A and B are shown apart, each in its own frame.
Chain A
Amino acid sequence: MKKLVSALLIVAMLLVCATACGPASETDELKVGFIYLHDENSTYDKNFMDAAKAACEAMGVTYLQKANISESNECYDAAVELVEEGCDIVFADSFGHESHLLKAAKEYPDVEFCHATGTLAHTEGLDNFHNAFASIYEGRYLAGVVAGMKLNEMIEAGEITAEQAKMGYVGAFTYAEVISGYTSFYLGAKSVCPSVTMDVQFTGSWYNEQLEKEAATALINKGSVLISQHADSMGAPTACEEAGVPNVSYNGSTAAACPETFLISSRINWEPYYEYIITCVKDGTAIAADWTGTLETGSVELSELGTNVAAGTAEKLAEVEEELKNGTKKVFDTSTFTVDGAAITTYMADVDTDEAYTGDTEAIEDGAFAESKARSAPYFDLRIDGITLLNEAM
């Protein structure tokens, strides 16, 4: 018994010592704090984490992270904790973090709060609260071009007729971000393969491997000869590899897991944005309320091409990318699509977030839908002809 007691006392002393004698270092250098919805096991968060590491190491600043922070009061707590740890910038990566991050931003006017995919910065008008996104629709349009080339190859080889050129798309929710994504993908394909049509199946979840796999399989069984997706798991690419159906991926290359069917993937690279906000704080300049990364800034990235893309894809891709960059081509050019059989000449988009879900901003400018202009997060939500929604997103 005595031995046990003395052993306990030693351990207890060690613990007390461990907590009491540690250093609490405070330095003057710039600190950035990152809040993530999940951890590295989610492709969505890993994309942010890799960029944070790269940007902060390149810029020589310290960075902290709070992972697995749910879209609740937890996010507010995490933000305040990062502020108390001495962060000059706090960044959160998930849509549902926004209102909680905003609450922290109001309490700490001296700290910059940046939020990916959010919509409130342009109406809140706080000096220290900012939204950011990227013109990923351009990336998806380019990926669509690759898909269209593949369809043309299949038509020429006699595998399908021009009428059978139907693509399938697995979406998360019936939300502007997703609608903007699949529409730009479809328009990219249509720009090279005019007879293409598309079915969209929603899963009602950003990450559900089983549901995404089932949705992709259902689309294939309904006659889709090519699949793309806007959801975060490997569900759809795996289903395509098993069925031998070409797949356009998202958030990074899936070539390693799906060598036969992988065509191309687009993703947002957050590194340029991180470097931008760090530079702003270092220089004492204001961070834009809304920042939209583009092909030019290096925020929209395309992966390498898969082994089974159609001949001439790389050349065509480079050509269209150049056209998008120099502005001769616009993704949502109103002459390339119709809604209910008619061309669009005017459209009030719901840009401002309020409880009345009504259009408030004219989005058609110079013959195109001006996506990500009035705010960084996408707001294209037109249901264009040629795309059939098999369900609404729940």
Chain B
Amino acid sequence: MNKSAVKKQHREPLFHIAKRDDLVWWKAWLIRLAAILLAMLLVGVISVILTKGNFFETYQIMFIGAFGRLGSSTRLLWKFFQKTAILLCLALAVTPAFKMRFWNCGAEGQALIGGLAAAFVMMKLGDQLPYPVLILIIVVASILAGAVWGTIPALFKAAYKTNETLFTLMMNYIAMQLVSYYAYVNAIPAGSGQIQSISTGHLPVIGNQPYLLNILVVAVITAFMLIYLKYSKHGYEISVVGESQNTARYIGINVKKVIIRTMMISGAICGVAGCLLVAGTDHSINANTVGGQGFTAIMVSWLGQFHPLIMVIMSALIVFLNSGAAKVADSYFLNSSYADIVVGIVILFVVGCEFFIRYTVKYRHLQRGKSA
């Protein structure tokens, strides 16, 4: 239906919205980039109002906060990649479930329980086993714990059609309470309710860079997920179940099996993230170890349109905004709401621009020009 071709006698509105069907990929990306830059411009204006500082200084501080000063140590840059890796890992974990339209809101808890398993092994077996065996048990325990935590809601969904959004969400709180309890009982020092530092079972450090291992592991998971979703039979089954369960049944896919299997993988990858956080980076655990990234990961997965490579960019963007805005807030002695505002604005623009990618705004005078 080409609306502009239809001769209309009545007065046309100033503009109307039409669906686009053929936007070349680079134009779509240009729109997205424009949205981010416009959002950053607005962030700059708001920052000037809040800080009464220099317009450009805000951006400068953001870059310093996220990547470090030019010419100084590369530590912040490593930290940037580490944070991006963990967020990406969690986003990758929830993605297969999302593609299946199973709303796994439990990445936070699945990662935390994986971390708890790691902490438990580190503390209980730390000084009893040779190092390679210990590391192997830590990794396996975390993956299993995460997988179990992810599979429980899937079993209930498959058997009783329970609402997975609520179920996975509730499982987060159970995981947090379990971690709090564990930290309380095994606290160092006693009664403080906190495990400050576990001395055994740290994951190996590659090339003197404490975050490199985490980054490499997540890079491998990203590649795996790309192949798994796009080229494997499992990935195909996930897409079909997501599109229509009836179709899936019709072509002989065991829907229950796919739901359970996918959530097992989803939980297992969360478990890996928990293991990297506890045994790789923090060497301690508390209810805040995952720090809400399990929820941010949901947003990353959606923003990345369930595509692992776009999710890499989105994780990096969100980590950049968070660390950059935190630095601005600290520099001007603002509170944490500033970072929330910055991230909020950018996300709003990024989500909003999808509208302009899918639809086009047609103005009256343009159409007249065309039809004349």
Q: Chain A: residues with CB nearer than 8 A to chain B?
A: 4-5, 7-8, 11-12, 14-15, 17-19, 21-22, 24, 38-41, 64-68, 70-73, 77, 80-81, 84, 95-96, 98-100, 103, 119, 173-176, 204, 350, 353-355, 357, 381, 393-394
Give the residues in chain A near B194, CB-CB below 8 Å: 71, 95-96
CA gap between A362 and B56 in the complex, in Å: 60
CA gap between A76 and B335 in the complex, in Å: 21
CA gap between A175 and B194 in the complex, in Å: 11
> Is the beta-carbon distance between B56 and A72 smaller than 8 angstroms?
no
> Is the beta-carbon distance between A70 and B60 smaller than 8 angstroms?
no
Of residues B40, B73, B193, B197, which shows the largest number of chain A Cβ atoms within 10 Å of its Cβ?
Answer: B193
Least CB separation from A358: chain B residue = B190
A-B contact pairs, 16 of them (CB 8 A): A4-B34, A8-B33, A17-B56, A22-B57, A24-B70, A39-B335, A64-B330, A67-B330, A67-B335, A72-B291, A95-B192, A96-B196, A99-B196, A119-B189, A173-B191, A381-B191
> Is the beta-carbon distance between A12 and B37 smaller than 8 angstroms?
yes
CA gap between A257 and B167 in the complex, in Å: 39
CA gap between A22 and B40 in the complex, in Å: 18
Binding-face segment, B104-112, B220-228, B279-287? B279-287
CA gap between A314 and B289 in the complex, in Å: 47
> Is the beta-carbon distance between A173 and B59 smaller than 8 angstroms?
no
> Is the beta-carbon distance between A4 and B30 smaller than 8 angstroms?
yes
| Interface hits, B120-171 → A, CB 8 Å | none
> Is the beta-carbon distance between A70 and B288 smaller than 8 angstroms?
yes
Give the residues in chain A near B284, CB-CB below 8 Å: 72, 99
> Is the beta-carbon distance between A98 and B196 smaller than 8 angstroms?
yes
| Interface hits, B317-358 → A, CB 8 Å | 326, 329-331, 333, 335-336
> Is the beta-carbon distance between B330 and A65 smaller than 8 angstroms?
yes
Please name 8 further chain A to chain B contacts, defined as beta carbons within 8 Å, in addition to the given A14-B56, A18-B58, A64-B330, sorted by A numbering.
Answer: A18-B55, A18-B56, A66-B326, A73-B281, A77-B79, A84-B68, A100-B197, A394-B181
User: Is B75 positioned at the interface, with any CB of A under 8 Å from its CB?
Assistant: yes
User: Is B69 positioned at the interface, with any CB of A under 8 Å from its CB?
Assistant: yes
The 10 closest A-B CB pairs, nearest first, are A18-B56, A357-B190, A22-B60, A99-B196, A18-B59, A39-B335, A99-B197, A353-B189, A175-B191, A11-B37
Q: CB within 8 A of B34: which of A8, A18, A204, A353? A: A8
Taking the closest CB of chain B, its distance from the CB of A39, in whole angstroms, is: 4
CA gap between A53 and B192 in the complex, in Å: 29
With A64-B330, A357-B190 known to touch, is A70 a contact of B181 (CB < 8 Å)? no
For B276-319 the 0/1 string (1 means CB < 8 A from A) is 00000111101011010000000000000000000000000000
> Is the beta-carbon distance between B73 and A84 smaller than 8 angstroms?
yes
Give the residues in chain A near B336, CB-CB below 8 Å: 38-39, 41, 67-68
CA gap between A5 and B60 in the complex, in Å: 24
Give the residues in chain A near B73, CB-CB below 8 Å: 84
CA gap between A70 and B336 in the complex, in Å: 13
For B38-66 the 0/1 string (1 means CB < 8 A from A) is 10110000000000000111111001000
CA gap between A394 and B55 in the complex, in Å: 48
Taking the closest CB of chain A, its distance from the CB of B73, in whole angstroms, is: 6
